[in-house]
Structure 1
Amino acid sequence: MSRKPTVLVAGTGFAGEGHTDAFRAAGAEVVGMVGRTPHVAAEVAGRLGIPMHGTDWQAALRDTRPDIVAIATPGGAHFEQIRLALGFGAHVFCDKPLTTDGARAEQLLALADAAGVKTAFAASYRYTPSVRHAQALVAAGAIGRPTEVECISHFNLERGIPFGWSHRQEAGGGRLNNNFTHTLAIVSAVLDATPEAVTGEVRDDLRRAPIVDGVHNFATRRAFIPADLSDPKLQWGKSNVEWSYTVLARMKSSFAEAPVSALFKHGGLVPRFREDHIVFYGDAGAIYLEGHYGSGALHLCGPAGDWQDLALPADIAADTPDVTGETEQCWHYLAREFMADIQGRPVAPYPTFRDGCAYQKIIDLIRANANWTDLHPD
């Protein structure tokens, strides 16, 4: 491809702006942006210098004929947007989740394979510098054969966050779609692993959220939390999706003969006391990453049981996009890899629709909550 690849963006919120910046940094030309609300699409596209804006996705595809589409909308909108884009032969970069259930995800994977296009699935926190450092250490044998992983996070999200897509399963909400996708991608990348078996439990401990007008950008939704949640005039929307989960997976790793046990524990509404973390254990040591996506300091335990803090290697630091924000940094990294692949340059494996489809099937199984054994049957 001798000219700049062109990109059409679906979504005008935080992710839409982030995808726009990421593809521009990777060398693409963003030719259009589509959103739900005309004046918002006009304002955001104008501010970002995007020449075309509108609310009709099919018309935008027809008018711009993009090489790539970037799907930056809530998961409930993904299926139709991607289906139409594949009909135009566009490569697709999609934020997580791929869609709302495994059956639809399978359909999109089949359509993408039939169209012969490239796809990217942005479960992208696997690209934080510390996670890539951990990946290099495991590959070098720093912990021996991996045996166990634990991913622990407590977000303490405000219960007054206005009702929206994140509260509804059919809209792509839930903590599995928007947290577990990242941690599973991290574990899969660091261990060069795929999940073989899974069991889990989910819980909706929110149940409802206030309905508030004017919320547009997911990143600024906290500004709309009502001052008085006991106000009798407030209207409430019903949550129908999980806010906490516990998942246990067996992972097949190229670095281990036996399956690796992986625990994913997330409490969306509960406070943390110690730091969130991700730990990779092996038969000769362990790697402790601070932070809910392992993006903080890295600590290595050697065979003697001594812990040491490791600085980020210079080559990983140099390969990290120079942008503010972990989410934005990871989008930039994945968009750069995706563009290189589209242009025929060699790249390391990155997450695609095949991963997004597998993740959605796993989420369906976990949400079914069908793994309990009754100890006191009647």
Structure 2
Amino acid sequence: MLKVLIAGTGFAGQGHADAFRGAGCEIVGIVGRTDHVVREVAQELDIPFAGTDWQVALDTCKPDIVSIATPGGAHYEPIKQAIARGCHVFCDKPMTDNAESAVHLYELAQAQGVKTAYAASFRYAPSVQHAKQLVAEGAIGEPTEIECISHFNLERDIPFGWSHRKKDGGGRLNNNFTHTLSIACSVVGEKILSIIGEVRDDLGRAPIVEGVHNFATRRDFIPKDLNDPNLKWGTSDVEWSYTVLAQLESPFAKKPVSVLFKHGGLVPRFHEDHIVFYGNEGAIYIKGHYGSGQLSYYGADKTWQELPLPPQIADAIPDVKGETEQCWHYLARDFVADISGETVPPYPTFKEGSAYQQIIEIIRKNDNWTDVSHLG
């Protein structure tokens, strides 16, 4: 039985532990920043080792796999140390907080011969898998374009934390675009040919509140009195909205597939968030910002029809609550099977993670504009 050491005690850490147990692994330890928190989580999850020192945990637990479930800015050193010890690495997105360190980790993993998994994992949403199957079967003809639209309407006063800071792996590109880019690549083709985009920080600041340890419960800590003169504020330095255009090479099309990624982190939605795959003979529409809702198909009869999941996809859905948790289970399942020598379909690795981090840096430069103010 493969042994897994978890880094991170919040929502992702607990989700990763459950996913690896579902894949038949033994969770031998968990590491966090705060002693009493990591001990409480370890007791709750029945994990034998709990600590705050990663090196000690590696020495004590001697894991086969490490699972990195901390914010992106805290990924580089723990992953580097784990690779040096020959551990396979499962890492949540973003891979790191910058392109250079992400590329370095990918190169280290390649040199050491360890396997890696990069959890831009909503490509495993059942309706996305269904769309992938339909496109491969030629249901929409040659794919021509993809549209990924989402509006999260996040509360502006969520306590200041890692999601507001570039150095900690924050920003909507790191934590939203990584998933939708992975979904688009999964369905029509993994090779990204070109990219252009712009970002905007329309938040500015957020209140500083102590005691937030779990990303999933951060809304519970929004201050009741935002006008309190004693309240301290942190300054955001990351994007909360983005618009990105990409071109993907597809084995199912003669020409590159155009992709629009439009995300507004702080604005309300009117119609559903959605992902649409268009082709020269039809289209596939999936409700939900990560394609986890109902799939509808537009074909030769020129009408939209809701399609049920094929049995082979429906029967393989992990029996856990939560879309995010289900997708971690899918990826952990394939990762463990691959490590164990089984043949598995391709899954996202540090190759994709490092490429995505480089693409995010290109978009964040925000230097794609052409000044036309002098025209007319």
TM-score range, shorter chain: over 0.9
1:297–1:309 contact (8 Å) kept in structure 2:
yes
* Counterpart position of 1:38: 35
How do 1:1-378 and structure 2 match up within 5 A? 4-376=1-373
Taking every aligned residue pair, what percent have the same amino acid on both sides? Answer: 67
In structure 2, distance between residues paired with 1:372 and 1:24: 48
**1:255-290 CA distance string (max 9 Å, x none):** 111001000000000000000000000000000000
In structure 1, distance between residues paired with 2:361 and 2:268: 27
In structure 2, distance between residues paired with 1:245 and 1:230: 30
Letter in 2 for 1:296: G
- TM-fit CA distance, 1:163: 0.2
4+ residue runs over 3 A deviation: none
In structure 2, distance between residues paired with 1:161 and 1:254: 43
In structure 1, distance between residues paired with 2:205 and 2:74: 22
**1:280-328 CA distance string (max 9 Å, x none):** 0000000000000011000000034211110111110111111100000
In structure 2, distance between residues paired with 1:227 and 1:142: 52
- Find the residue that maps to 1:324 and give its secondary structure: coil
What is the total number of aligned residue pairs between the two structures? 375
In structure 2, distance between residues paired with 1:47 and 1:245: 39
- TM-fit CA distance, 1:194: 1.8
- TM-fit CA distance, 1:192: 2.3
In structure 2, distance between residues paired with 1:326 and 1:376: 46
C-alpha RMSD of matched pairs (Å): 0.9
- TM-fit CA distance, 1:227: 1.1
Letter in 2 for 1:194: K
Letter in 2 for 1:332: H
**1:184-203 CA distance string (max 9 Å, x none):** 00000011232110000000
In structure 1, distance between residues paired with 2:238 and 2:374: 28
1:159–1:269 contact (8 Å) kept in structure 2:
yes
- TM-fit CA distance, 1:59: 1.0
In structure 1, distance between residues paired with 2:331 and 2:103: 22
**1:327-352 CA distance string (max 9 Å, x none):** 00000010000000000001000000
- Find the residue that maps to 1:44 and give its secondary structure: helix
1:31–1:64 contact (8 Å) kept in structure 2:
yes
Letter in 1 for 2:163: S
In structure 1, distance between residues paired with 2:46 and 2:273: 39
In structure 2, distance between residues paired with 1:287 and 1:344: 35
- TM-fit CA distance, 1:377: 5.9
**1:114-158 CA distance string (max 9 Å, x none):** 110000000000001110000100000000000000000000000
In structure 2, distance between residues paired with 1:244 and 1:229: 24
In structure 2, distance between residues paired with 1:230 and 1:375: 42
In structure 2, distance between residues paired with 1:213 and 1:128: 34
**1:169-214 CA distance string (max 9 Å, x none):** 0000000000000000000001123211000000000010000011
- Find the residue that maps to 1:209 and give its secondary structure: strand
In structure 2, distance between residues paired with 1:371 and 1:235: 36
Flag structure 2 segments of 5+ consecutive residues without an equivalent.
Answer: none
In structure 1, distance between residues paired with 2:320 and 2:236: 35
Flag structure 1 segments of 5+ consecutive residues without an equivalent.
Answer: none
- Find the residue that maps to 1:315 and give its secondary structure: helix
2:139–2:299 contact (8 Å) kept in structure 1:
yes
1:89–1:117 contact (8 Å) kept in structure 2:
yes
Deviates more, 1:95-104 or 1:223-232: 223-232
In structure 1, distance between residues paired with 2:313 and 2:239: 36
In structure 2, distance between residues paired with 1:282 and 1:288: 12
1:193–1:254 contact (8 Å) kept in structure 2:
no
